[in-house]
Structure 1
């Protein structure tokens, strides 16, 4: 494939197609200005004659589309009328030589004239009306050890419900995002996704599945193979960056800890970050202190700037774009895609595929060249590309051999979630969140299925009636997931029959089109049950597996001899306590065990046991004292059990309350 418009690496210049798109946008804006008075007056007239006789009609889709334009016209007309009155008064004062009043009325004329202009600088847009296919209409072929499976781990204890996300109380701090709980959530998700009973077995299953399906044979990870972890740090580009949600430091830490201490990957063989953003200290300090030899992307102060590939390696299916990628992507054997759960003012949703806009952005001054393929290219609520069956760059990203083609794990960070490309979080209303932070992780091997599940969560949480994100969309907020065709790329990725005529998705430009299906897509039955086709007993579509809180049971299964058949950490008793409490746990095999207590900021304060123990039930007590013997203050603490037996490792954490 020879793209019509290549753009040169390392030069921050938009390609020709983007320049043409900007000219088209400018022409659209001129047309809007010329026809705005007529359209605004007609919209106001139509709204009034329909709604005044029957106010309930205001909720109709046609009225929701009309209202923003009508209200903009009212503001515009009021401003012009007021400026005309002030101008007439100014002329009167001038003729009477009352210069002070003349000056004040001139100022008032200018202000009232500018108000409608500034008001329309970002024109009101209609509330989007999505046209999704009905529930449980699966398409495509599921991918993964368990085809089409997405594992959703939800644990409210992962985040602090009282976090204000203000000065000295930000989302990324260890006292607001509980590291031991996040560690356990990832462990639970990995084991459930792979159908294994230990983390080491889970990683081995992931590597073997990938290698078997990529012509490498049934082999696990081989020492020296490179792994890249693409996180999302786009919130650093927006104002008040410390409040904006990025991939959390805690889940990044959990993944590194798993790869290094469980899967056996050398630190120097791992690269992590967002190529377009220098990793901030909130991430770097936490990660680098424990894993100093990992490669962290960015500029200066211990970071490494990712170099561009020697030539263009990423080509758009419509023949318009050719991009470079980070050379580390090309050199890597595997990738982990770790985005944030969020909606987006151009694409509707921003999940795993959108995460890779940051992979090309550092070499072109942004990813502007790809915006034309999104539903809302201008990003101000004007869905000018909302048809199904047109070119969508996310399909190319999902299928590219160095992007989706190398991804062994899709892991969406929904611990806090975001409302746009780089914005603060809001608490979620839907069940089971119930006005709390989402506190969730989503894991899958299927690139289409995980986008579909993430889409459904965002679609049903952020509708037009949302108290802070509802109403007509603009560049800052809105029910973006309701943009028409926001899920078009999922349709096309799932089934080639949905791809546009004349477009061949061949992201490497080597003449080899993408397979007819990259994964499974459908929408769930409803937001209450959240069931997909495989949940309903069918052998097609998506399966959503839910893990709520801890997966460990308080009463373990015993064999015929009365010995535990699994590893279990029970809730301490009593809880809350003062000053003593007892912790019970079960070991199914002889193990080297460490039981430790942690402050909620992640700092270990004492060790209750560190040594070898036989299989069976064990009890340890804590007297509420620190390692130095001083009494620990009242508060919430975590206790974590870590063990290693002859064939696997395990860990689990729980929360307890010391109430002096």
Structure 2
């Protein structure tokens, strides 16, 4: 039996080392090099399909040699010779040297492909500029309910089991009433429509039958890949079908807008099946399927799937300040009202943001990329910015009835990868938020502050368009090309005071201080929680430096594990740090840090327990892979 096992092991080794196994080694080495060269300098590339394959092959090849070295080390430990005792150290040194040199080479040699690093900056709070607009000038309503989504997702974020439609519907009702001060949804909408019509010289009237409404969704990540895009399914963050549905339910069932007078659109992207079906049907998947919004117009760039209509160009054009000319879709020109639905997202272009202003980019027939050079120029403070052209234009910002910010799932490192927020009150959960406003500058200022406070680090220039819109330069913005330039403020901009509670209206200057009128709902859901500040889930860390999003949590080299307790009004006594259920360190003073310096390999569970108010505890844990 022993000889049989030995012969079997010999045959396996021969297969792996002989000519038949040479391709195994070549493929493994190439996969590792390719992954290091492409992903280490720019971790976002780990999401590419080719890198997913390379990562799988790399891990398989590393696992093969890890098992081999582990077995060899165990055998050598029983040997008595000096050489045998020192060989494991030599092998370990070789592995360390290979890892360090490979990572450093990839990081430095290919650094040119990275965008310039964002410089951290702290804005001065409560220095409002501009003039608030809307039925309550400068008002922004933030509604938070952690029950809107499931913390632990099953499948993709947009699947039915991860979203609570009833909670979202209630959040919308709370927000629309809070925004207007009305006691019913119907009265709230009447107030919004009446204000819009009075401001546009149409008189003291609400919504009138036959008037058309266009809803601008953000579907920026819906394009890509090869072949038919409509069946595409991934975890990229686009418009939530459940948020669109709650808006449609309000317009159809509360306001009384006929479905055929409503268009949901993105002129630059397809409306994917996975999103369309969950808006169109009352519930999807379901048996039987029941239509809910079958008469809505679903307009996209291709019109290549059931129920999707291809965008039709109009004869109307918009003129950007840099000379770029865009063609408007017919559905936008024919609409009397627009509703802009931005998502709480950072953008990878020069570490900016993609909020209400940038959501308008997908409102034209021509490619969005044509505006990118102007957009990048607008990230320098003082330069003209395309978002201001869009807010000013009569058929876009001029028609916008409501800005509805979707913060159910936010992104932090780019515009596609959803991520939980660590800041209070989210405590390492999804942001589960709605934002309401009629002031485009104010709502983007508030959403920007959420992103900045979380540490997503948008550059200072990412707020340039808010400065430009609040206090526009003369003789710059004339999107109608009629010789009449923007000369008045489009809204109020300021940054919040982080020292004031996030649910307090005093976090901004408020209407008495000519600032943002900040109103919040959801404080009753606050619960204490301990969170990891470092490392974060699904990030790559290279010798203590966060290299950004990654398919899983990977730590190469030493790292400082840092934690904090949020939502506690009393005293935090201590935080304990555990590795694989073994206590490693206890810190009794902020900042709470455990220096993980010891050599470690493979997968580990890191757990933190926070002790507060003498008798209470809260815990959290993440799984990480560590090398060295």
TM-score bracket for the superposition, by shorter chain length: 0.5 to 0.7
Contact (CA 8 Å) 2:218, 2:342: kept in 1 or not?
yes
Question: For residue 346 of structure 2, what is the aligned residue in structure 1?
Answer: 343
What whole-Å deviation, never above 9, does each CA across 1:205-263 have from its counterpart, x for those lacking one? 11000000001001000100000000111122357852011111111000101000100
Q: Structure 1 residue 328: deviation in Å?
A: 1.0
Task: Please give the residue correspondences for 1:437-448 in structure 2 after superposition, counting only pairs within 5 Å.
Answer: 437-448=430-441
Q: Structure 1 residue 462: deviation in Å?
A: 2.6
Residue 192 in 1 paired to residue 178 in 2?
A: yes
Contact (CA 8 Å) 1:521, 1:541: kept in 2 or not?
yes
Task: Please give the residue correspondences for 1:246-325 in structure 2 after superposition, counting only pairs within 5 Å.
Answer: 246-288=238-280, 289-298=291-300, 299=303, 300-311=305-316, 313-318=317-322, 320-325=323-328
Contact (CA 8 Å) 1:236, 1:242: kept in 2 or not?
no
Question: For residue 387 of structure 2, what is the aligned residue in structure 1?
Answer: 394
In the alignment, the residues of structure 2 paired with residue 367 and residue 122 of structure 1 have an alpha-carbon distance, to the nearest angstrom, of 25
Question: For residue 547 of structure 1, what is the aligned residue in structure 2?
Answer: 521
Question: For residue 117 of structure 2, what is the aligned residue in structure 1?
Answer: 127
The alpha-carbon distance between structure 1 residues 268 and 445, as it changes in their structure 2 partners (threshold 3 A), is same
Task: Please give the residue correspondences for 1:147-546 in structure 2 after superposition, counting only pairs within 5 Å.
Answer: 147-164=137-154, 169-237=155-223, 241-288=233-280, 289-298=291-300, 299=303, 300-311=305-316, 313-318=317-322, 320-346=323-349, 348-360=352-364, 363-364=365-366, 366-375=367-376, 386-419=379-412, 422-463=415-456, 479=457, 481=458, 483-496=459-472, 499=473, 503-526=475-498, 529-530=501-502, 538-546=512-520
In the alignment, the residues of structure 1 paired with residue 439 and residue 259 of structure 2 have an alpha-carbon distance, to the nearest angstrom, of 27
Question: For residue 145 of structure 1, what is the aligned residue in structure 2?
Answer: 135
SS in 1 for 2:192: helix
Q: Structure 1 residue 343: deviation in Å?
A: 0.5
In the alignment, the residues of structure 1 paired with residue 484 and residue 327 of structure 2 have an alpha-carbon distance, to the nearest angstrom, of 19
Contact (CA 8 Å) 1:156, 1:549: kept in 2 or not?
no
What whole-Å deviation, never above 9, does each CA across 1:601-645 have from its counterpart, x for those lacking one? xxxxxxxxxxxxxxxxxxxxxxxxxxxxxxxxxxxxxxxxxxxxx
Greater share of helix: 2
In the alignment, the residues of structure 1 paired with residue 268 and residue 524 of structure 2 have an alpha-carbon distance, to the nearest angstrom, of 36
Contact (CA 8 Å) 1:373, 1:393: kept in 2 or not?
yes
In the alignment, the residues of structure 2 paired with residue 386 and residue 267 of structure 1 have an alpha-carbon distance, to the nearest angstrom, of 39
- What's the RMSD between the two structures over aligned residues? 2.7
Question: For residue 578 of structure 1, what is the aligned residue in structure 2?
Answer: none
Question: For residue 88 of structure 1, what is the aligned residue in structure 2?
Answer: none
Q: Structure 1 residue 387: deviation in Å?
A: 3.0
In the alignment, the residues of structure 1 paired with residue 342 and residue 413 of structure 2 have an alpha-carbon distance, to the nearest angstrom, of 13
In the alignment, the residues of structure 1 paired with residue 312 and residue 105 of structure 2 have an alpha-carbon distance, to the nearest angstrom, of 47
In the alignment, the residues of structure 2 paired with residue 321 and residue 231 of structure 1 have an alpha-carbon distance, to the nearest angstrom, of 23
Return 5+ residue gaps in structure 2 as ranges: 1-97, 226-231, 281-290, 526-628
The alpha-carbon distance between structure 1 residues 116 and 183, as it changes in their structure 2 partners (threshold 3 A), is closer
In the alignment, the residues of structure 1 paired with residue 187 and residue 166 of structure 2 have an alpha-carbon distance, to the nearest angstrom, of 20
In the alignment, the residues of structure 2 paired with residue 340 and residue 424 of structure 1 have an alpha-carbon distance, to the nearest angstrom, of 12
The alpha-carbon distance between structure 1 residues 244 and 119, as it changes in their structure 2 partners (threshold 3 A), is farther
Contact (CA 8 Å) 1:249, 1:286: kept in 2 or not?
yes
In the alignment, the residues of structure 1 paired with residue 417 and residue 218 of structure 2 have an alpha-carbon distance, to the nearest angstrom, of 14
Q: Structure 1 residue 297: deviation in Å?
A: 1.5
SS in 2 for 1:545: strand
Question: For residue 136 of structure 1, what is the aligned residue in structure 2?
Answer: 126
In the alignment, the residues of structure 2 paired with residue 143 and residue 183 of structure 1 have an alpha-carbon distance, to the nearest angstrom, of 26
Contact (CA 8 Å) 1:234, 1:421: kept in 2 or not?
no
SS in 2 for 1:271: strand
Q: Structure 1 residue 420: deviation in Å?
A: 5.6
In the alignment, the residues of structure 1 paired with residue 320 and residue 414 of structure 2 have an alpha-carbon distance, to the nearest angstrom, of 23
Larger RCO of the pair (alpha carbons < 8 Å, separation 6+): 1
In the alignment, the residues of structure 2 paired with residue 258 and residue 550 of structure 1 have an alpha-carbon distance, to the nearest angstrom, of 25
The alpha-carbon distance between structure 1 residues 177 and 549, as it changes in their structure 2 partners (threshold 3 A), is farther
In the alignment, the residues of structure 2 paired with residue 264 and residue 433 of structure 1 have an alpha-carbon distance, to the nearest angstrom, of 36
What whole-Å deviation, never above 9, does each CA across 1:144-201 have from its counterpart, x for those lacking one? 111111000000000101115xxxx221122211000000000100001011011111
SS in 1 for 2:512: coil
The alpha-carbon distance between structure 1 residues 131 and 209, as it changes in their structure 2 partners (threshold 3 A), is same
SS in 2 for 1:486: helix
In the alignment, the residues of structure 2 paired with residue 443 and residue 536 of structure 1 have an alpha-carbon distance, to the nearest angstrom, of 16
Contact (CA 8 Å) 1:212, 1:218: kept in 2 or not?
yes
Contact (CA 8 Å) 1:533, 1:541: kept in 2 or not?
no
Moved more, 124-133 or 366-375: 124-133
